[in-house]
Amino acid sequence: MSRLSRHLTAGLLCSLLSAAGGSVQARDLGSQEPLRITLVSLARQAAHPGSDSALKLSVRRAWASDSQAQLCALTLDASGAPVLEGGRFQMRRIQFLRQQGQWRVQHSETRWLPAGGSLDAICPKSGTSASPPTQLAKSGSGDINVALAEMERRPPTAGLPGSLRDLRAEATCPIKPEAPTNVADWKPGRIEAQGRTHLFDAPDRACPMGKHLVQHDKVRIGPTQGSWVQVQYTHPITQVVTVGWLPGQKAIAVDTHLASQAR
């Protein structure tokens, strides 16, 4: 074989090997891809010891190669809020194996991710080159990251435990919190004060809830008691509802009729 022929043959072999290697590279699966939908269905059907049947999965990352696949999902409770324990998010990592043309769950496990931690640490992309760490609270349109970033900024729906000071205050609150009534009649409004507006379980500063709202958050304004007003806040993404008390000057009612005319 001539030197030129050997050179061309070697080049062809390198190309084939490169193509073969590329075929096993994992690729991200889009939210509407049939394979991703199939894997999500299999993951939800798979029994996991100790799991709560009311828990839901919100897929954070999905990838697949020719014979392997993996889903990493945030665990949500029945109300749609992330499951938290000790300030850590509960994640589910499900691995799949393709055998005889059929995808099957190979392994499923629960992992815990600190708020702001790297998702890559517990859900690496197999077969791909290392990429910069993906922060859990990094914003991204249409992604669970958006919800997490919002909940970090608006803790009323984050479900994070309050500070030790708040927990102590809860035990010594002189007023017993009462369930709201006639919420449907409450007026629409918004938070007017700049910065953080802290919520309270009762109209007393000795009853902090350990959560807060921020300026322009939309609320429904309920009854008043002295200089306090009761409000209801619904998170725009998770739809988790929080009801609490705050100083009346912190919120203002919005005339929806005038607002619609202005538009």
In this structure, are 188 and 247 located in the same domain? yes
Residue 248 predicted with pLDDT over 60:
yes
How confident is the model over 130-180, as pLDDT tens digits? 333 444 444 333 445 555 555 555 444 333 344 434 444 444 677 777 777
Domain finish residue from 130, 153, 176:
153
Residue 188 predicted with pLDDT over 70:
yes
In this structure, are 90 and 196 located in the same domain? no
In this structure, are 192 and 141 located in the same domain? no
Counting the structural domains of the chain, the total is: 2
C-alpha to C-alpha distance for 51 and 39, rounded to whole angstroms: 19
Whole-number average pLDDT of the chain: 71
Residue 242 predicted with pLDDT over 60:
yes
Domain finish residue from 107, 133, 153:
153
Higher pLDDT, 249 or 64: 64
Residue 21 maps to a domain? no
Residue 226 maps to a domain? yes
Q: What is the CATH number of the domain that holds 203?
A: 2.30.30.40
DSSP designation for 129: -
Of the pLDDT bands very low, low, confident and very high (cuts 50, 70, 90), residue 9 is: very low
Residue 4 maps to a domain? no
In this structure, are 143 and 48 located in the same domain? yes
Average pLDDT on 89-118 reads 86
In this structure, are 133 and 36 located in the same domain? yes
| pLDDT, position 53 | 55
C-alpha to C-alpha distance for 87 and 210, rounded to whole angstroms: 14
Residue 216 phi, psi (nearest 5): 80, 0
Q: What is the CATH number of the domain that holds 36?
A: 3.10.450.630
In this structure, are 135 and 57 located in the same domain? yes
In this structure, are 209 and 104 located in the same domain? no
Residue 102 maps to a domain? yes
Higher pLDDT, 117 or 261: 117
DSSP designation for 261: H
Residue 189, exposed/middle/buried by CB under 10 A (0-12, 13-18, 19+)? buried
Contacts for 215-219: CB closer than 8 Å, 24+ residues apart: 215/191, 216/190, 216/191, 217/154, 217/190, 217/191, 218/188, 218/189, 218/190, 219/188, 219/189, 219/190, 219/191, 219/251
Place of tokens 């061309």: 8
Q: Of 83, 51, 79, 64, which is closest to residue 24 (Cα–Cα)?
A: 64
Domain finish residue from 125, 153, 181:
153
C-alpha to C-alpha distance for 251 and 240, rounded to whole angstroms: 20
| pLDDT, position 147 | 55
In this structure, are 85 and 149 located in the same domain? yes
In this structure, are 171 and 237 located in the same domain? yes
Query: What's the domain range around 171?
Result: 157-261
C-alpha to C-alpha distance for 242 and 258, rounded to whole angstroms: 27
In this structure, are 64 and 161 located in the same domain? no
How confident is the model over 39-67, as pLDDT tens digits? 888 887 775 544 555 577 888 888 898 88
